[in-house]
Amino acid sequence: MCIMTRLNALKPFRFLSIALVAMILTFGLGAKDAHALGGIPNFSIPGIGSIGGSGATINIPGLGTIGIGWGSGGFTISFGQGGCGGNTIGSVMCNVWEATDLIPGLLSGLAYLFGLYLGVIAILKLRDHVENPNQTPLSESMKRFIAGGAFFALPMVMEAAYNTVAQDIFAPTATGFNATQTVGGGLDAMVAALVMDISGPIHLLFGAFCYLAGIVFILIGISRLLKSAQEGPRGPAGFGTMMTFIVGGTLLSFDAIMGAFTGSLFATDTITTYAELNFDSGMSADELNHIHTVVSSVLAFMMIIGWISFIRGWFIIRDVAEGSHQASLMAGMTHVLGGALAVNLGPVLNAVQETFGITGYGILFT
């Protein structure tokens, strides 16, 4: 008799559970259809571009934009300006990105599916709590509801992560190089041709990598909400989890963060890369073009190294927050600061020459 009374008392809750499951399934399928038909709300992210009903755009400093479109027919991608034509190493780099054009859609789909799964599990945990509060605490259900909702609202979480670290901060601008080819066919000409060919496409890869890595870090941070406080730094409120969100937002806004470093170091948002010899007496036009091209090639190569170091530094900082004993905060900050200086090598050389008083016969970057 007591058992029947208990079951009868739970009937309203069971009907409620069925209704909630139906609502979640409807919402999940509706979100899928909206995603396929372009029904996603528009989110404008300064420095990145936008995530909206028909696709997304990614802004890459000095390169242009990457457009990602989605619809019922699948995903498409388009490039802005920057050396992706021809049959060169640079075009191979562009082909690598083209071959990964489905990854953003895959991550978005996985987030929706996992959010749906967590919603169903949360309802079941809530039922278990009502039936046996001592064995199943209410937090087991609530944290799954929160994590599932965050997975469903992934674009808004991405926008929040971006605005946390880079709101009202803009990417730096570059003055461009003053020469693109050398005279003759020596080794320096080959190196210059290589650097000028890959400088645009490799920045495209950097932007794509940071964009995808930022999404992955945000997904990891959301999944940490399911853990317990005993996980330490990797728990829901652990320092590692907070830094995962922060680094995710930093990678999404890596160009704007570089603009912040440029403005902090040199009080300007312009990276000067136009090289001119202050002393060129007796040199022909071909010789000047040769020298300028070699200097521009070295500068472009150092900017590539700087971007690699800058991005790597944020991964090291996150490892420190995670409690890794193989990483140190000093190493992470050295990578970040050193990378920012390498990207801004032109302004750095100007400052060094001004300090030592050799502006009359050095190389001026304007």
pLDDT at 106 over 90: no
How far apart are the C-alpha atoms of 140 and 135, rounded to whole Å? 10
Answer with the residue of higher pLDDT: 237 or 246.
246
Least confident window among 35-44, 49-58, 185-194, 282-291:
35-44
DSSP string, 268-333: SSEE---EEES--TT--HHHHHHHHHHHHHHHHHHHHHHHHHHHHHHHHHHHHHTT-TT--HHHHH
Q: How many domains does the chain have?
A: 1
Containing H/E element for 62?
Answer: none
- Residue matched to tokens 């989605």: 70
- Supply the mean pLDDT for the chain: 75
State residue 289's pLDDT score.
76
Tell me whether residue 307 is in a domain.
Answer: yes
Answer with the residue of higher pLDDT: 218 or 26.
218
The per-residue pLDDT for range 299-331, each reduced to its tens digit, is 888 999 999 999 999 999 999 998 888 889 999
State residue 60's pLDDT score.
42
The per-residue pLDDT for range 45-104, each reduced to its tens digit, is 444 444 444 444 544 443 344 444 434 333 333 333 345 667 888 888 888 877 777 787
Answer with the residue of higher pLDDT: 250 or 282.
250
pLDDT at 116 over 70: yes
Tell me whether residue 104 is in a domain.
Answer: no
Closest CA to 240 of 324, 161, 322: 322
pTM, to two decimals? 0.75
State residue 238's pLDDT score.
84
Tell me whether residue 132 is in a domain.
Answer: no
Q: What is the mean pLDDT of residues 108-129?
A: 89
Closest CA to 182 of 302, 292, 299: 292
How close are the terminal C-alpha atoms of the chain, in Å?
A: 89
State residue 140's pLDDT score.
87
Tell me whether residue 35 is in a domain.
Answer: no
- Domain around 169: 162-365
State residue 46's pLDDT score.
41
State residue 134's pLDDT score.
87
Q: What is the mean pLDDT of residues 118-140?
A: 89
Q: Which two tokens stand for residue 200?
A: 């645009």
Answer with the residue of higher pLDDT: 200 or 342.
342
State residue 180's pLDDT score.
55
Tell me whether residue 87 is in a domain.
Answer: no
Closest CA to 252 of 146, 357, 159: 159
Tell me whether residue 99 is in a domain.
Answer: no
How far apart are the C-alpha atoms of 346 and 295, rounded to whole Å? 10
Q: What is the mean pLDDT of residues 139-145?
A: 88
Tell me whether residue 236 is in a domain.
Answer: yes
Tell me whether residue 172 is in a domain.
Answer: yes
Could you tell me the pLDDT band of residue 341, with boundaries at 50, 70 and 90? Answer: very high
Are the beta carbons of 224 and 236 closer than 8 angstroms? yes
